[in-house]
């Protein structure tokens, strides 16, 4: 029984910043990759950034240089610092985590948060 809860979304003007947080709770043995996805109206959900258990990061080209993903393994949390926000960043942002709940199995299973809305005004 694993749950992900996002926070930090809201309304911000273009050029501003927001910091998203996601906390994972439940039966956790370890967490492999964690990431942030977003979905805008009329578009499919897309990867924004992810980070491995070894802190290797990956970013969508559209956010490189503006967003920074990080994690705190002691808190089972992942964060997304979003700077220089643009109206096109407006979307529902979803937290994702690959969670191992037992000793067996190295890949774990994917879990998703319910999303937090980020709105960037022009």
Structure confidence by residue, pLDDT tens digits, 28-84: 999 999 999 999 998 999 999 999 999 999 999 999 999 999 999 999 999 999 999
Q: Where are the beta strands (DSSP E) in the chain?
A: 2-7, 10-13, 18-26, 30-39, 46-51, 57-59, 67-72, 77-82, 91-100, 109-112, 116-121
Locus of tokens 């709105």:
119
Lowest mean pLDDT among 12-16, 27-31, 45-49, 87-91: 27-31
Mention every residue, 6+ apart, whose C-beta is less than 8 A from residue 78: 21, 22, 24, 34, 35, 36, 51, 69, 70, 71, 72, 95, 97
């Amino acid at each position: 029984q694993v749950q992900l809860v996002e926070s930090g979304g809201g309304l911000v003007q273009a050029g501003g910043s927001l910091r998203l947080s996601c906390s994972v709770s439940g039966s956790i043995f370890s967490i492999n990759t964690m990431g942030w996805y977003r979905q805008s109206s009329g578009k499919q959900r897309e990867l924004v950034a992810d980070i491995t258990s070894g802190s290797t990061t990956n970013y969508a080209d559209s956010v490189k240089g503006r967003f920074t993903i990080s994690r705190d393994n002691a808190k089972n949390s992942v964060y997304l610092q979003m700077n220089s926000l643009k109206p096109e960043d407006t979307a529902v942002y979803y937290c994702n985590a690959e969670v191992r709940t037992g000793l067996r199995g190295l890949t774990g299973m994917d879990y998703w948060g319910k999303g937090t809305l980020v709105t960037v005004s022009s």
